[in-house]
């Protein structure tokens, strides 16, 4: 009897211990603010929230018309940054659903009063970056900045209010100091305000953070000699660096400098390389300039059909350069390119006149119809 009672007490102790542990556990609600390609996520929690490495995380989202769906994969906390109220969690096993910024993350924590001071040594702390739309993006982002894609449409330079952008973007930098695009937005507004020293310093910081747009702005300062001594060779190198990082402005300026021999000997082949790079991502000015090069055979083999194709692609975008060339200076193109353009217009059904390369009203009207279509 004593032996049975002892076993009962031991079993009861286990049950009580399990029940107590369950009572101590708690759920902390947070948001996904960044996702790495391997499924590792960054979460933002409320300041003062107690989370420890090893805590389990589940991620779920509200799907319109379906309801709340939870991703089957579980994540585990591997790093806590209490100063920034950030948590890094790594998936445990294969990720069966892709988490997105804005999804809910539920952290199952023991509510320990102490943050684990010994995080996984293989984990690199997240940079303080946000991919969510901020007032800084809305007020001052450039439509040509690839870092802004999917975040905000951007504002034309002539429409930005420098004081507003500076205020919003300084606040954004304070909250997320490693977000590259904020520095590009700030640099742009400093340009608009005429604060060239601030533009220079902010562009340098943005370049260091990885902003190709900031790199292009810095190149512009060296090209114009604003705040710094003019240095065309350095400007070209920075434009090339920006171009290779995917920035369309860097591509166009690098091409133009190579073509005109600014900071380097004239090199139409290098110009064609950077124009083609920009054309590959749909930049209208690049289409027009490639049209010029193929028309004249500079930097590329002369090819009237390619020239016509690029010029007409640019005109379809209502590109200003293409519009001027084709609607106002059509006769300056070679005869063969004008013939190729009329062939395109004829195949579209916009032109029914003679294929003679003439700069006449019928061709002009067909070109206008090409823009409208």
Do residues 197 and 319 share a domain?
A: yes
Last residue of a domain, one of 49, 74, 109: 109
Please tell me whether residues 42 and 153 are part of one structural domain: no
- Pair 139, 103 in one domain: no
User: Cα(149)–Cα(158) distance, rounded to whole angstroms?
Assistant: 20
Residues 31 and 75 in one domain: yes
Confidence band of 294 (pLDDT split at 50, 70, 90): very high
Same domain for 166 and 236, yes or no, is: yes
1 confidence band (pLDDT: 50, 70, 90): very low
- The answer to whether residue 21 is domain-embedded is no
Q: Residue 19: inside a domain, yes or no?
A: no
**Are 144 and 94 part of one and the same domain?**
no
For the chain, the average pLDDT equals 86
Burial 284-309 (b: 16+ CB within 10 A, else e): bbbbbbbbbbbbeeebbeebbebbbb
**pLDDT tens by residue, 107-116:** 988 654 344 4
The residue from 67, 94, 109 where one domain ends is 109
Q: Is the pLDDT of residue 285 over 90?
A: yes
Whether residue 341 sits in one domain with residue 244: yes
Tokens of 194: 């005429």
Domain co-membership, 79 together with 145 = no
Query: Which residue, 46, 74, 109, sits at the end of a domain?
Result: 109
Residues 188 and 224 in one domain: yes
pLDDT at residue 238 greater than cutoff 80:
yes
Give per-residue pLDDT as tens, 79-132: 887 666 788 899 988 877 777 777 888 998 865 434 443 444 454 555 588 889
Report the domain count for the chain.
Answer: 2
Q: What is the pLDDT of residues 143-162, one digit of tens each?
A: 999 999 999 999 999 999 99
Does residue 117 fall inside a structural domain?
Answer: no
120 occurs within a structural domain: no
**Ranges 72-76, 110-114, 182-186, 262-266: which has the least confidence:** 110-114
Please tell me which residue, 8 or 242, carries the higher pLDDT value: 242
pLDDT at 58 over 70: yes
The answer to whether residue 22 scores a pLDDT higher than 50 is no
Give the residue, 179 or 72, on which the prediction is more confident: 179
Query: For residue 46, what is the domain's CATH number?
Result: 2.40.30.10
pLDDT tens for 343-363 read: 999 999 999 999 999 999 999
**152 shares its domain with 102:** no
Supply the range of the domain harboring residue 271. Answer: 135-372
């Amino acid at each position: 009897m004593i032996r049975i009672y002892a076993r009962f007490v031991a079993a009861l102790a286990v049950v009580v211990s399990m029940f107590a542990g369950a009572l101590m556990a708690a759920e902390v609600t947070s948001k996904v603010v960044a996702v790495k390609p391997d499924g590792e996520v960054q979460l933002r929690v409320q300041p003062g929230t107690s989370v420890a490495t090893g805590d389990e995380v589940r991620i779920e989202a509200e799907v319109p018309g379906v309801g709340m769906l939870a991703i089957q994969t579980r994540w585990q906390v591997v790093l806590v940054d209490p100063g920034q109220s950030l948590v890094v969690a790594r998936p445990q096993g294969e990720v069966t659903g892709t988490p997105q910024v804005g999804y809910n993350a539920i952290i199952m924590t023991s509510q320990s009063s102490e943050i684990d001071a010994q995080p996984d040594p293989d984990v690199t702390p997240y940079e303080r970056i946000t991919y969510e739309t901020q007032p800084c993006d809305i007020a001052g982002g450039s439509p040509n900045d690839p870092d802004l894609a999917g975040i905000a449409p951007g504002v034309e330079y002539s429409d930005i209010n420098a004081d507003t952008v500076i205020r919003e973007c300084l606040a954004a930098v304070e909250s997320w100091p490693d977000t590259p695009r904020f520095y590009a937005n700030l640099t742009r507004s400093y340009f608009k305000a005429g604060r060239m020293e601030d533009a220079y310093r902010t562009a340098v910081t943005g370049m260091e953070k990885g902003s190709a747009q900031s790199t292009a702005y810095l190149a512009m300062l060296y090209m114009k000699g604003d705040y710094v001594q003019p240095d065309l060779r350095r400007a070209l190198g920075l434009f090339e660096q920006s171009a290779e990082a995917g920035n369309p402005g860097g591509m166009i300026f690098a091409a133009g400098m190579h073509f005109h021999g600014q900071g380097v000997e004239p090199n139409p082949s290098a110009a064609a390389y950077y124009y083609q790079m920009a054309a590959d991502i749909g930049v209208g000015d690049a289409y027009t300039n490639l049209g010029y090069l193929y028309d004249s055979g500079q930097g590329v083999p002369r090819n009237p059909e390619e020239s016509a194709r690029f010029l007409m692609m640019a005109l379809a975008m209502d590109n200003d350069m293409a519009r001027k060339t084709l609607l106002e200076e059509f006769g300056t193109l070679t005869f063969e390119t004008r013939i190729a353009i009329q062939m395109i217009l004829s195949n579209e059904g916009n032109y029914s006149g003679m294929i003679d390369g003439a700069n006449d009203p019928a061709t002009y009207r067909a070109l206008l119809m090409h823009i409208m279509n």
